[in-house]
């Protein structure tokens, strides 16, 4: 069901500083910041040959990333994102297997303007998993 790794997301307390670090120290190509108010975050993507790194900064105190940074003030890996061919079929299959989908269970449009779902970390070895329609 899952396809390629789309990205690894890292929550950061300062998006501008984190972007500069990747751009300058690692000489990576870093996108411009984009606000994603539906998800409560500002994001940049670090482009790699085979995948991306998503750097996330909360847009406010209600952001899930703000809560993550309270527990991890220096930031850290927040989630991994895998591609799926059919997000609705993936959702049905996962729910039939007992996996919990976060939120209202319906896909939302993610940072790549494609439907995404998040799966409960307790169902995936402590890892928050995002599925994105390819």
Active site residues: 130
- Joined together, the tokens standing for residue 22 give 């990747």
Contacts of 103 (CB under 8 A, 6+ apart): 118
Distance, CA of 118 to CA of 113 (rounded, Å): 15
Beta bridge partners of 96: none
Q: Long-range contact list for 101-104, CB < 8 A, 24+ apart?
A: none
């Amino acid at each position: 069901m899952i396809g390629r790794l789309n990205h690894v997301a890292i929550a950061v307390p300062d998006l501008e500083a984190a972007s500069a670090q990747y751009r300058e120290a690692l000489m990576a190509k870093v996108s411009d910041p984009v606000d994603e108010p539906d998800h409560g975050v500002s994001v940049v993507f670090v482009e790699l040959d085979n995948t991306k790194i998503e750097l996330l900064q909360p847009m406010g105190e209600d952001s899930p990333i703000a809560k993550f940074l309270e527990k991890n003030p220096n930031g850290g890996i927040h989630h991994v994102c895998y591609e799926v061919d059919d997000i609705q079929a993936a959702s049905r299959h996962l729910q039939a297997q007992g996996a919990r989908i976060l939120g209202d269970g319906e896909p939302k449009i993610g940072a790549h303007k494609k439907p995404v779902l998040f799966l409960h970390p307790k169902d995936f070895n402590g890892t928050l998993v995002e599925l994105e329609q390819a």
